[in-house]
Amino acid sequence: MNTGIQSQPECAKARLKRQLPSPSTLHDLLAENRRERILLRRLLTLSERIYEADDAPREEVNHGRQMGRGK
């Protein structure tokens, strides 16, 4: 009976080991996730800048250009 009790946790551990990724795989996924987040943040910043420039009133932009040409 004692061996049966000991084998049950081992079976559960083996089953978990088969289902879970290895620690090195998880570390790789975390590193990849960090890189993706950094790239997404940069893309978001760029996108916001482009959209803000698009939303700027045209009159102010044109006025600034005209003033620059006149000088």
pLDDT of residue 22: 93
- Please give the Cα distance from 51 to 45 (Å, whole number): 10
pLDDT band at 6; cut points 50, 70, 90: low
- Written as six digits, the tokens of 66 are 């005209």
pLDDT of residue 30: 95
- Please say if the pLDDT value at position 1 is more than 50: no
Name the CA radius of gyration of the chain, rounded. 29
CA end-to-end distance (rounded Å), the chain: 97
pTM here is 0.49
- Please give the Cα distance from 49 to 70 (Å, whole number): 28
Q: What is the pLDDT of residues 21-67, one digit of tens each?
A: 999 999 999 999 999 999 999 999 999 999 998 887 766 555 555 55
